[in-house]
């Protein structure tokens, strides 16, 4: 089984009119073979929220930049920050 990592990604919308639910669905469609483990919205200012999500990714060089670039290309996304990357261990699978 290929190794996976979990990335915590913070996504800022490009305006206050952007619906974060649509961005979340676009992220899920952009990475169909990966799993969004959880997500939340965090207030920024003046009624604008950011979307913070944890998503699985293959453990390979350059994957963080590839994910960041692909998410930035989604309509309505202003900025993207990879906040954390850590190894994913599925306890259901044998080592």
Tokens of 81: 């920050």
**pLDDT score of 95:** 56
Over the stretch 58-69, which tens digit does the pLDDT of each residue have? 999 999 999 999
Q: Do 20 and 35 form a contact (C-beta atoms < 8 A)?
A: no
Q: Using the 8-state DSSP alphabet, how is residue 49 labeled?
A: E
Other Cβ atoms within 10 Å of 76 Cβ, number:
15
The mean pLDDT value for 11-36 works out to 94
Tokens of 27: 């992220």
Q: What is the pairing mode between strands 4-13 and 48-58?
A: antiparallel
pTM of the model: 0.88
- At residue 94 the predicted structure's pLDDT band, cuts being 50, 70 and 90, is low
- As a residue count, the chain comes to 95
Distance CA 33, CA 35 (A): 7
């Amino acid at each position: 089984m290929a190794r996976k990592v979990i990335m915590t990604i913070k996504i800022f919308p490009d305006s206050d009119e952007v619906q974060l639910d649509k961005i979340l669905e676009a992220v899920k469609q952009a990475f169909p073979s990966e799993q969004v483990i959880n997500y939340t919205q965090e207030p920024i200012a003046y009624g604008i929220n950011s979307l913070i999500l944890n998503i699985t990714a293959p453990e390979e060089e350059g994957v963080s930049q590839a994910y960041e670039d692909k998410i930035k290309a989604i309509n309505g996304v202003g900025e993207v920050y990879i906040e954390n990357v850590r190894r994913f261990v599925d306890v259901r699978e044998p080592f």
